[in-house]
Amino acid sequence: DTEVTQTPKHLVMGMTNKKSLKCEQHMGHRAMYWYKQKAKKPPELMFVYSYEKLSINESVPSRFSPECPNSSLLNLHLHALQPEDSALYLCASSLPGPGLIGELFFGEGSRLTVL
Amino acid sequence: DQQVKQNSPSLSVQEGRISILNCDYTNSMFDYFLWYKKYPAEGPTFLISISSIKDKNEDGRFTVFLNKSAKHLSLHIVPSQPGDSAVYFCAASAQAPDMRFGAGTRLTVKP
């Protein structure tokens, strides 16, 4: 199994809604990532979990709340979002832990639209 | 502050010819560089990487060159095939697990 699975693929929500994006991998990877990508822009790093601990938080607004319940799962909880938060949210994982770099395996992304 | 830059948003080449995609970076601490390929409606997939201790890495039709003094890397695809048409992202890392991406270059290979 070399897949990173993201659900839902598409999400439309109002500014007062609470929703969650989910990501799952069963490759034994110990680093998991959330990236945000807007049209014609590079993926922007939001959060990184390494061994289920939050290791990088790129000054993301608190309306985005990550959670890593175990080594296979990564969630992104969304609350009181703004229309400018509409984007493709990409989850990725990589094999090594701290101090090592490896290729990222990406999911297909969750396309979020905030009305 | 975009630390990884791909200044050509698009590139078109004829099938069988060489495709050269370029990437510049500003952070001299980057020591690991990767190229990803992205088809529509799919997540990026890893293509090839290079460590800063090397200046070239080759994998089949794909070769990545690294010029540390110029803070520049390039991806060569030869011969180019129509199936190579995709968006190519350059990425760089200074410290695991942080990884930064360029904006991407859309490659179109014409039959």
For residue range B43-97, list pLDDT tens digits in order. 889 899 999 999 999 999 999 999 999 999 999 999 999 999 999 999 998 876 7
Other residues' Cβ atoms within 10 Å of the Cβ of residue B51: 11
pLDDT confidence of residue A98:
47
CA-based angle B43:A90:B66, to the nearest 5? 65
pLDDT confidence of residue A88:
94
| A41 contacts B97? CB cut-off 8 A | no
**Which residue, among A32, A44, A58, has the nearest Cα to A88 in the 3D structure?**
A44
Cα gap B101→B107, rounded to integer Å:
17
Per-residue pLDDT reduced to its tens digit, A27-75: 888 889 999 999 888 889 999 998 899 988 888 999 999 999 998 999 9
Query: Is it the case that residue A77 has pLDDT exceeding 60?
Result: yes
| A90 contacts B46? CB cut-off 8 A | no
Cα gap A24→A6, rounded to integer Å:
7
| A101 contacts B99? CB cut-off 8 A | yes
CB pairs under 8 A between A and B: 67
* In chain A, residues 34-93 whose CB comes closer than 8 Å to chain B: 35, 40-45, 48, 50, 55-56, 90, 92
Query: Is it the case that residue A97 has pLDDT exceeding 70?
Result: no
**The tokens of B90 are what?**
């350059």
Nearest CA in chain A to B105: A40
Q: What percent of chain A has pLDDT over 90?
A: 63
Query: Which residues of chain A have a CB within 8 Å of the CB of B46?
Result: 103-105
Asked if B84 contacts B13 with a C-beta cutoff of 8 angstroms, the reply is no
Residue whose tokens read 């490896």: A102
**The tokens of A112 are what?**
């979020």
**The tokens of B20 are what?**
């050269």
* Beta carbons within 8 Å of B68's beta carbon, 6+ residues apart: B52, B55
For residue A10, how far is the Cα from the chain centroid?
A: 14
**The tokens of B108 are what?**
């179109």
Identity of residue B105: T
pLDDT confidence of residue A96:
62
